[in-house]
Amino acid sequence: MSGGYNCLDASPVPGDPRFGYQNTWNTGMVNAPCADPCCCLASLLFPCCSAMYVRKEVLGGSLDRYTCCQGYYDCMCWKAGSLGEDSMPELCLCLEALLCEACSISSTRMFMMDTRSIQPDPCDTRLIRLNNFLVLLSCVCHILAMIDDTFDAAAELVELISDIVYAIVSSCMLTQTHIEVKSAPRPIDWSKANLYPRSGSKQMRNGEMGGGGNRGIPPQNVMVGGGGGGPPGAT
């Protein structure tokens, strides 16, 4: 059954070359909280600060190669590397984590996978798809509530569940990435940064390559933010 009908589907994202990478995650997202409970708790309570810290870790301990979302979310009017990152990377990363938390967390994980040749984990894919399904369901319920007041209670309940799942999934994602950097350090292949488009994106569906960018980063499974408008994202 395809991911469009089964939110717990673990099948590869169509056209995603990352499923051909040779390495695997040191720890899956579902096991990350037990592997590093302190990091998971910090990511749960302070997601933006944790997102900034882990991004710097993944970039080799320096922000010299930092660009907004590492180029994974570039569009016609938004180009990573042209937003002032060279002169004030710390401020730009702070704004990215605060305003686009989901995209920030997902792009860090995608960059980690691309530059270290780590393939997606099937259980991780299920968690991300479940999160995205609940966010979509929350949006639908709120739209129905605007049409019919009897949906108000259901919309609030689904939004609460969506926000809780998002917070847990994003903290597990950050913890998994942190563990990978610390426990299983691999050489960084900068040539793969931004080589492939974000998983599920129009570019990937059309078989296009990534934007490249002067210091950009690549795409992969993406998580979307919580029902209340919160940030992480993807599959």
What is the percent of the chain where pLDDT is above 70? 78
Contact 190, 65 (CB under 8 A): yes
Contact 73, 213 (CB under 8 A): no
- Mean per-residue pLDDT, 206-234: 45
- Mean per-residue pLDDT, 66-92: 87
Residue 29 contacts by C-beta under 8 Å, 6 or more apart in sequence? Answer: 121, 123, 124, 127, 169, 172, 173, 175, 176
DSSP secondary structure code for residue 78 in this structure:
B
Whole-number pLDDT of residue 85? 85
Q: Which of residues 139 and 203 earns the better pLDDT score?
A: 139
Nearest CA to 124 out of 26, 212, 203, 229 is that of: 26
The mean pLDDT of the chain is 82
Q: What is the pLDDT of residues 182-216, one digit of tens each?
A: 987 777 777 766 555 555 445 544 444 444 433 33
